[in-house]
Amino acid sequence: MLGLELVVVLGAAVLLGNALGQRFGVAPPVVLLLVGALIGLVPAVRQTQLPPEVVLLLFLPVLLYWESLTTSMREIRSNLRGIVLLSTVLVILTAGAVAVAGHALGLPWGPAWVLGAAVAPTDATAVGALAGSLPRREVTVLRAESLVNDGTALVIYGLAVGITAGEEHLTLPHVGALFLLAYGGGAAVGVAVAWVNMNLRRRLDDPLLGNLVMILAPFTAYLLAELIHASGVLAVVVSGLIMAQVAPSLIRAEHRRQALAFWPLATFIINGALFVLVGVELQYAFRHLSRSELRDALIAVGVVSVVLVLVRFAFLFSSAYLIRLIDRRPQQRLRRISHRARTVSGFAGFRGAVSLAVALSVPESVDSGAPFPDRAFIVFVTSGVIVVTLVVQGLLLPGVVRWARLPRDTSVDEEQVLAETKATEEAVKALPELAARLGTTPKVTEWLRQEYEAHLATVRAKGAGTDEDPALLHNRHYTDLRLALIAHKRATVVRLRDEQRIDDTVLRRLQTALDYEEVRLAGREQVE
């Protein structure tokens, strides 16, 4: 199939899957998997195979970078110990448990460890798409875990493939050096790329050039890390986390507006396309197994899926009790979560694009020239496990969340009211000094003071939760009237264009200004 045809098919599949998911109240990734499996029935699609490098080098850096930019660093710091344990120890234990299960099902130890490494890491994009209903703390821990654990899994994968292919030797110093290089080298590259990014952004006034630097950053970090055999995943994540901290004071408003128009749409399309490709890949792997191999592979999918859930639950509960025995500090008690919340986290261990890319990266042959043992089996089982975790756990998760009766997380709303109140109060306090410095006329100063005080009254009323407060009613009427006036202005500008009294260029300029004002008034600019 031609590249352009594939782009159209994937785009239509993403559109259809998300529309059906919203229409029937089903998580879109689940529908996208099914749509991908149906598309895989088309011979031209089934014969099209994307190289694993496309997923690892083209799709993954963009998704990881955006996840890093929109993840709470404060929550990561406060839950750092749990995140580190989940992204290292749990991944190693999961890979080992899956390897044992795979060996018991007939796989040699090398391919069994390859399978374990492929399915061990959770997936950041799947977590973001399916776990959005969870409280902020749980979502942050899950996202941070899935951002870092790929590095651990890829080290295990490299060892398993190398040993099976006859390229690696297994010794404790060698394994330790690989992990040190993966994490230390990846973090160092991430810091270096972020430093270059910051210095370029300070010097570039053009929003297009500034955002081009932003787009290049994750690919550069991933590429440089891979060149020194470090973790490209960790390099992208570290670079993104650093930029998330410095960007608010470094990047200009017009740069930020342009970025926020591009990144959510780009990640939405890429994310959806990956879920579709998982469904297509399942069809491809299905046709490369004999009847008996298919039977064994289906059994393996069920066994491995159960092992993943059991190991995750066992680790979440046992590590909590172990930490309580070791760390008895008062602040440790504040970090504890309920067993119900822990159960929800256990069900949110979704697998996704990284697992598929790892499985597809398994070489076709070993050093001797013989075929890599059980490669098709590994690809099918990995694809099947992804489908099971996304479909079964994805459909069960909303019910588990309802059962858990987790307290509603109002901290974001409360902190937003605090920030808006404090920022507006200090702006009003600084108004006379700023007006004097700029030589602003008293009339303009008084007009602006009244506007800010009206906004402050509205924010305070929102914080108090009183919907019928006069300040809120005044703000609602003001907003409705402003929006109606904007619509009238837009209609006038369009009429002038239709009458050929103004050019389309003028129309676009005025329309952009009106659109910005409408979005601001309607409160539709949300980035989390």
- What's the CATH code of the domain at 200? 1.20.1530.20
Per-residue pLDDT, 385? 92
Residue 499 lies in a domain: yes
Residue 36 lies in a domain: no
Same domain membership, residue 223 and residue 369: yes
Of 405, 429, 452, which closes a domain? Answer: 405
Kindly indicate the confidence band of residue 171, based on its pLDDT and cuts at 50, 70 and 90: low
User: Cβ of 409: how many Cβ atoms within 10 Å?
Assistant: 14
Mean pLDDT over 202-212 rounds to 90
**3-state DSSP assignment of residue 205:** coil
Of 358, 383, 405, which closes a domain? Answer: 405
φ, ψ of residue 3 to 5 degrees: the values are -60, -40
Same domain membership, residue 171 and residue 304: yes
Cα-Cα end-to-end distance for the chain: 38
Same domain membership, residue 383 and residue 496: no
Same domain membership, residue 354 and residue 212: yes
CA angle in degrees (0–180, nearest 5) for 477-480-485: 125
Its domain, for residue 462, covers 413-522
- Residue owning tokens 């369009």: 494
Kindly indicate the confidence band of residue 501, based on its pLDDT and cuts at 50, 70 and 90: very high
Per-residue pLDDT, 523? 66
Query: Left (φ > 0), alpha (ψ -120 to 50) or beta: where does 498 sit?
Result: alpha
Kindly indicate the confidence band of residue 338, based on its pLDDT and cuts at 50, 70 and 90: confident
Q: Has residue 79 got a pLDDT over 60?
A: yes
Same domain membership, residue 419 and residue 314: no
For residue 365, what are the β-bridge partners?
A: 371
Same domain membership, residue 241 and residue 205: yes
Kindly indicate the confidence band of residue 325, based on its pLDDT and cuts at 50, 70 and 90: confident
CA distance 214 to 212: 5
CA distance 400 to 388: 17
What's the domain count of the chain? 2
Residue 22 lies in a domain: no
Per-residue pLDDT, 400? 87
Encoded tokens for 493: 């500008």
Do 396 and 404 form a contact (C-beta atoms < 8 A)?
A: no
Of 405, 422, 442, which closes a domain? Answer: 405
Same domain membership, residue 418 and residue 370: no
The string of pLDDT tens digits covering residues 260-289 is: 888 888 888 888 888 888 788 777 777 777
Same domain membership, residue 437 and residue 361: no
Same domain membership, residue 477 and residue 400: no
The string of pLDDT tens digits covering residues 476-489 is: 888 899 899 999 99
Residue 39 lies in a domain: no
Among the listed residues 129, 114, 109, the one whose alpha carbon sits nearest the alpha carbon of residue 28 = 129
CA distance 258 to 251: 11
The string of pLDDT tens digits covering residues 430-449 is: 999 999 999 999 999 999 99
- Residue owning tokens 């005080």: 453
Mean pLDDT over 491-496 rounds to 93
Residue 440 lies in a domain: yes
Per-residue pLDDT, 129? 65
Write down the H helix ranges in 251-338: 253-286, 291-326, 330-334
Residue 381 lies in a domain: yes
CA distance 127 to 121: 12
Same domain membership, residue 98 and residue 235: yes
CA distance 184 to 499: 64
Per-residue pLDDT, 53? 66
φ, ψ of residue 231 to 5 degrees: the values are -80, 110
Residue 477 lies in a domain: yes
Among the listed residues 356, 397, 388, 386, the one whose alpha carbon sits nearest the alpha carbon of residue 132 = 397
Same domain membership, residue 322 and residue 466: no
Kindly indicate the confidence band of residue 132, based on its pLDDT and cuts at 50, 70 and 90: low
Calculate the alpha carbon distances from 513 to 421, 495, 510, 518, 520 in Å: 27, 17, 5, 9, 11
Look up the pTM and report it.
0.81
Mean pLDDT, all residues of the chain = 84
Query: Left (φ > 0), alpha (ψ -120 to 50) or beta: where does 439 sit?
Result: left
Percent of the chain with pLDDT over 70: 91
Q: How many CA within 13 A on the CB side of residue 404?
A: 24
Least confident of 114-123, 146-155, 446-455: 146-155
Q: Has residue 490 got a pLDDT over 80?
A: yes
Q: In three state form, how does the secondary structure of 71-124 look? A: CCHHHHHHCHHHHHHHHCHHHHHHHHHHHHHHHHCCCCHHHHHHHHHHHCCCCH
Per-residue pLDDT, 433? 93
Q: Which amino acid is at 267?
A: T
Same domain membership, residue 417 and residue 400: no
Q: Has residue 1 got a pLDDT over 70?
A: no
Sign of the four-CA dihedral 362, 368, 373, 376 = positive
DSSP H or E stretch at residue 344 = helix 339-347
Encoded tokens for 123: 């997936």
Residue 509 lies in a domain: yes
